[in-house]
Structure 1
């Protein structure tokens, strides 16, 4: 995990300085422990390691494919609480008969979010999908149909795409003229 973050940070420092400047310093293990206590779940070791590299970003940036920004520990707690509140208000914890997933689940841990509020979540439910990454958006149900098996693999794929070209889930990195980073389909940059 730390190797992937070092590679991502090095690429950003060279090719996307304004995005690199948004990376927060590391979270502390105490901050993570407080968040775990508030949410009542243990954060996966790979998420803790990621947060101990960078505690998310200071402001939204398309740091990750599909316009996602990693969340800081406090923002993980805030987003989870908001989703739990909304889900309880609209019966969003129940799986509709026509869907595979509920709108939200208490064992989904948001770790990144897009400008539109769609969260990339880590599935902490027991079973074969434990640790996979999926999506929880505003409408519809959660989606794990194109799940990445782990955060470690995902950030490795991001680092590889930045350093060697190629894409992650069909999205390719493009430095912007203002020193930022954008991800889009091949040929769109």
Structure 2
């Protein structure tokens, strides 16, 4: 089973080969000092798999549809977004579920790792069987872990699998747009701005089998 770094290596190889413009928006590794300071600021220890991912790429340098569900955040963006959600939750009683058994709008042990249109993908750091799962904090509703990934690593591996071997990540399928950029879309939504999306080609079998071993 791939480590986080090995999953990233497979994604990077695919992006360099088929979508170099998308590869170009992957940020360089996070600064170790910034990573340590962020954990002190937030009062949370980042999971090892998140640290490993950020040490590979500190988010993106510009918005891009590189990931099927939401763009990954940098260390600075994680701190900013989490603090914003904490402030909002404190002002609107967002820590309290609206009904028994429901998730609150926000929890102090949720750590955002990706965000799109106000909806953030969060790692659940609460103790218990759901610890480490990857779910959603929805901007206009309660949190949602009904279709959670068991971990950030599992999500990254699934993304690498869909690119290098073909397939989907949940409902999302990889395509190339007219500018040869990676674009994730639903199976029945195969145009973008009036131009056709092309199914993303998998890596040749011999190439794919040799990845993740370095």
TM-score (norm 1): 0.95
After superposition, residues 2-17 of structure 1 pair within 5 angstroms as: 2-17=5-20
Aligned counterpart in structure 1 of residue 48 of structure 2, from 30, 45, 48: 45
Kindly indicate whether the alpha-carbon contact (under 8 Å) linking 1:122 and 1:131 is maintained by their aligned counterparts in 2.
yes
Q: Distance in 2 between matches of 1:80 and 1:104?
A: 10
Higher mean alpha-carbon deviation, 39-48 vs 2-11, is at 2-11
Other-structure match for 1:136 = 137
Q: Which of 87, 90, 100 is the aligned partner of 1:85?
A: 87
Q: How does 1:13-162 map to 2 (within 5 A)?
A: 13-66=16-69, 68-97=70-99, 100-114=102-116, 116-162=117-163
- Structure possessing the higher radius of gyration over alpha carbons: 2
SS at match of 2:121: strand
Question: In structure 2, how many angstroms separate the alpha carbons of the residues matched to 1:79 and 1:179?
Answer: 31
Distance (Å, rounded) in 2 between the aligned partners of 1:16 and 1:177: 11
Q: Can you list the C-alpha shifts for 1:111-153, whole angstroms capped at 9, x where unaligned?
A: 0112x12111100000000000000121010100000000111
Contact 1:161 1:173 in 2 (8 A): yes
In the TM superposition, what is the alpha-carbon distance from 1:183 to its structure 2 partner? 1.0
User: What is the rounded CA distance, in whole Å, between the counterparts of 1:37 and 1:161 in structure 2?
Assistant: 36
Residue 29 (structure 1) shift: 2.3
Taking only aligned residues, the RMSD between alpha carbons, in angstroms, comes to 1.1
Contact 1:22 1:59 in 2 (8 A): yes
Partner deviation per Cα, 1:62-108 (whole Å, 9 max, x = no partner): 11113x11110000000001111111111111111166100011111
Q: Tell me if structure 2 keeps the 8 A contact 1:99–1:141.
A: no
> Which runs of 5 or more residues in structure 2 are unaligned?
191-214
Distance 1:43 1:186 in 2: 34
- TM-score w.r.t. the length of structure 2 is 0.84
